[in-house]
Amino acid sequence: MKIQENKKALTPVSADEQEQIARTVIGWLNGSGAVPVRAIAYEILDEGVSGIAMHLEGGAYKIRGYIIGGYQAQLRFSLHYRIQPGDSGDARLKADEALNALAAWACDAAHLPALGGGYLATRVETEDRARVVAAYDNGDEDHRTALRLTYEKF
């Protein structure tokens, strides 16, 4: 006899909601004081220039509905830090350390983002530690860490 798990399909939030939450998260991270570059960008990193960009990992999805209305949702995102380390293992480690420090700051409950618009951030969690994910012919390397923001809509 085969036992089937009860797996529900995730319901995406509206595009407007996802964009509002993502925009707020970028502003919150940029205001942290823990960003080792001028500002975190959205999705795009320039070639040959150090920088950090936030990428959405599949978007925001509702994970729980409430009987009285509202729901709980999660936004999965990653931070990509582009560096030019040359032959320096130390530069690579410093990039990972910077991303891990930013992730630790984000996961501290004292720093949850103020989402506004009837949304309340309840927690931020890391999904992995920073590591190199890409190396390019021009010497650029991308380091990445993934996070998950859980929030509620009332």
Q: Do the domain assignments include residue 47?
A: yes
Q: Give percent of the chain above pLDDT 90.
A: 86
Mean pLDDT of the residues in the chain: 93
pLDDT of residue 6: 47
Nearby residues of 116 by Cβ (< 8 Å), 6 or more positions away: 24
Q: If you search the block for the tokens 């927690």, which residue do you land on?
A: 123
For residues 9 and 94, the answer to whether their CB atoms sit within 8 Å is no
Total domains in the fold of the chain: 1
pLDDT of residue 5: 44
Q: Do the domain assignments include residue 2?
A: no
In sequence order, what DSSP letters do the residues of 98-127 get, joined into one string?
A: HHHHHHHHHHSGGG----BTTEEEEEEEES
Q: Do the domain assignments include residue 3?
A: no
Residue 78 has pLDDT above 80, yes or no: yes
Residue 1 has pLDDT above 90, yes or no: no
Q: Do the domain assignments include residue 58?
A: yes
Q: Do the domain assignments include residue 42?
A: yes
pLDDT (tens digit per residue) in 10-31: 899 999 999 999 999 999 999 9
Strand duo 11-12 + 51-65: pairing: antiparallel
CA geometry: angle 28, 42, 103, nearest 5 deg: 45
Q: Do the domain assignments include residue 5?
A: no
Q: Do the domain assignments include residue 1?
A: no
Mean pLDDT of 115-136: 96
Give the domain extent around 131.
11-153
pLDDT of residue 67: 92
CATH of the domain at 52: 3.30.2000.30
Residue 2 has pLDDT above 50, yes or no: no
Q: Do the domain assignments include residue 93?
A: yes
| pTM: predicted TM-score of the whole model, two decimal places | 0.90
Residue 38 has pLDDT above 70, yes or no: yes
